[in-house]
């Protein structure tokens, strides 16, 4: 493979709730542990990254990776509104220092799906007060830790509700094609949902229709709340920590069409990406997350073809999507792109290696053609909690035995590290 540019960031991503364990003040903790929960299992101690971060980061460095994207958990930093937990700031300071000691560039996400329970009680991601609350938390983190943070993603997959809406519609129609790129448990959804929302309503103390956690369908106003939260957080971060580069991440399919489906594909790009461009124009970089493609025909989204290779998530194995999405977003955004997530859930690690090779080939071609790509963060550093689908999906470069929490690096982890080392200047 041709060389990547000097300073290219090679790494992997995680999210606090999926790996740390015992995120007890978060909305997800409450949703997972509720009777009749739609979650296949609770996150529990997850993969104990909260206690094992030092050895996990050391292992990344040993492999040859030079970057780590992880998230800081709002529910830990601000467990009750306005009460900031100093010991949790110290925890993340240690994580950032472990990165520094290992010459790993940290890319910090300030919100990766989970929120403090109090935020949901106050209207969650549909409340017009949420942007200011989010910006206040971001300001606090940056005041304390900003000097250790070179890159920050305010919100992970700010557009994910669109994919969720689509997947719900499709399950209602009983077809099986890609929807939201995240673990959603859709079995007997309608009945389960009604009961579940009654339980949630009781637990959060708000009416069943007012439980607005992040991974949910959303109104137009709710979408604006999320992007406004990004804009306000960006301003707060810049004021406190001007040297930190700020961006947001979006979940993006490589949207394609067969003859007759062109208009549907155009609408999908508009809905999933283009409509948000005005909120992103002043960012320092764009966080691109891609896992597969979505193909549109004259009647809408086409199912994954029967003969296609699929992943544990039911996605088509299609690593070519990454380069195509880099090219598409670059036509709308004049800023460097950071690939903040890309990967597959599989128990056949040889397919992960093939996926990485093909995806990187696409990125390399983009760079050769003059597109500016800052780095590649594979999802995920290790097998972890795939939201409503529990621990059943294995996305990791590192395997974790949850009985012992013992880690075993997979050949794909060694492989990505080798590529990083070959390209190190």
Residues marked active site are found at 157
Asked if residue 77 binds ligand BGC (CB under 6 A), the reply is no
Site size toward ligand BGC, by CB under 6 A: 13
Question: Residue 230 is encoded by which pair of tokens?
Answer: 């990004």
Nearer Cβ to ligand BGC (96/182): 182
Nearer Cβ to ligand BGC (204/379): 379
Give the integer Cα–Cα distance in Å for 113 and 119.
13
Which residues 6+ apart lie within 8 Å of 370 measured at CB? none
Which residues inside 207-266 make contact with ligand BGC, applying CB under 6 A? 251
Contact present, 14 and 377 (Cβ < 8 Å): no
Contact present, 125 and 218 (Cβ < 8 Å): yes
Asked if residue 20 binds ligand BGC (CB under 6 A), the reply is no
Give the integer Cα–Cα distance in Å for 194 and 238.
42
CB of 296 to ligand BGC, least distance (A): 21
Write down the residue that tokens 């799906």 correspond to.
Answer: 113
CB of 388 to ligand BGC, least distance (A): 11
Using DSSP bridges, classify how beta strands 249-251 and 151-155 pair: parallel, antiparallel or unpaired: unpaired
Using DSSP bridges, classify how beta strands 293-297 and 300-301 pair: parallel, antiparallel or unpaired: antiparallel
Chosen residue from 157, 272, 283, 316 binding ligand BGC by CB under 6 A: 157
CB of 158 to ligand BGC, least distance (A): 11
CB of 156 to ligand BGC, least distance (A): 5
Eight-state DSSP code of residue 258: -
**Cα dihedral across residues 244, 245, 248, 252: positive or negative:** negative
Asked if residue 156 binds ligand BGC (CB under 6 A), the reply is yes
Nearer Cβ to ligand BGC (63/250): 250
Chosen residue from 386, 388, 413, 423 binding ligand BGC by CB under 6 A: 386
Asked if residue 379 binds ligand BGC (CB under 6 A), the reply is yes
Asked if residue 15 binds ligand BGC (CB under 6 A), the reply is yes
CB of 183 to ligand BGC, least distance (A): 6
DSSP conformation letters of 74-113:
HHHH-SBTTB--HHHHHHHHHHHHHHHHTT-EEEEEEESS
Which residues inside 317-356 make contact with ligand BGC, applying CB under 6 A? 341
Which residues inside 165-184 make contact with ligand BGC, applying CB under 6 A? 181-183
The radius of gyration of the chain's CA atoms, rounded to the nearest angstrom, is 20
Q: How many CA atoms lie within 13 A of 161 on its CB side?
A: 19
Distances (CA, A) of 23 to 27, 101, 117, 165, 338: 9, 26, 11, 27, 28
Nearer Cβ to ligand BGC (289/310): 289
C-beta nearest to ligand BGC: residue: 182
Asked if residue 46 binds ligand BGC (CB under 6 A), the reply is no
Q: Where do contacts with ligand BGC occur on this chain (CB under 6 A)?
A: 15, 18, 156-157, 181-183, 251, 289, 341, 379, 386, 395
């Amino acid at each position: 493979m041709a060389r990547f540019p000097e300073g290219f960031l090679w790494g992997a991503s995680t999210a606090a709730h999926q790996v740390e364990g015992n995120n007890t003040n978060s909305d997800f903790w409450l949703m997972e542990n509720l009777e009749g929960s739609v979650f296949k299992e609770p996150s529990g101690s997850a993969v104990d990254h909260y206690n094992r971060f030092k050895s996990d980061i050391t292992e990344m460095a040993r492999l040859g990776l030079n970057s780590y994207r992880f998230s800081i958990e709002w529910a830990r930093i601000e467990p009750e509104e306005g009460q900031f937990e100093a010991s949790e700031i110290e925890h993340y300071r240690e994580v950032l220092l472990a990165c520094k000691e290992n010459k790993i560039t940290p890319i910090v996400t300030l919100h990766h799906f989970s929120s403090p329970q109090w935020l949901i009680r106050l209207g969650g991601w549909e409340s017009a007060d949420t942007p200011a609350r989010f910006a206040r938390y971001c300001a606090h983190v940056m005041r304390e830790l900003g000097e250790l943070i070179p890159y920050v993603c305010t919100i992970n997959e700010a557009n994910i509700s669109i994919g969720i809406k689509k997947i719900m519609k499709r399950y209602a129609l009983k077809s099986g094609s890609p929807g939201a790129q995240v673990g959603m448990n859709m079995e007997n959804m309608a009945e389960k949902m009604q009961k579940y929302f009654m339980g949630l309503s009781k637990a959060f103390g708000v009416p069943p229709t007012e439980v607005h956690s992040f991974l949910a369908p959303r109104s137009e106003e709710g979408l604006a709340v999320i992007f406004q939260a990004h804009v306000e957080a960006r301003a707060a971060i810049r004021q406190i920590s001007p040297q930190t580069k700020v961006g947001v991440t979006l979940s993006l399919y490589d949207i394609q069409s067969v003859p007759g489906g062109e208009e549907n594909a155009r609408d999908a790009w508009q809905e999933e990406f283009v409509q948000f461009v005005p909120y992103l124009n002043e960012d320092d970089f764009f966080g691109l997350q891609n896992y597969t493609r979505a193909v549109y025909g004259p009647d809408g989204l086409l199912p994954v073809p029967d003969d296609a290779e699929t992943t544990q998530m039911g996605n088509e194995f299609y690593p070519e999507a990454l380069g195509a999405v880099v090219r598409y977003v670059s036509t709308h955004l004049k800023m460097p792109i950071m690939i903040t997530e890309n990967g597959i859930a599989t128990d056949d690690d040889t397919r992960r290696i093939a996926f990485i090779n093909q995806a990187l080939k696409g990125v390399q071609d983009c760079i050769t053609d003059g597109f500016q790509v800052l780095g590649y963060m594979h999802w995920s550093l290790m097998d972890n909690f795939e939201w409503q689908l529990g621990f059943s999906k294995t996305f990791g470069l590192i395997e974790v035995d949850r009985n012992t929490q013992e880690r075993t690096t997979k050949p794909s982890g060694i492989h990505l590290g080798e590529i990083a080392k070959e390209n190190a200047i």
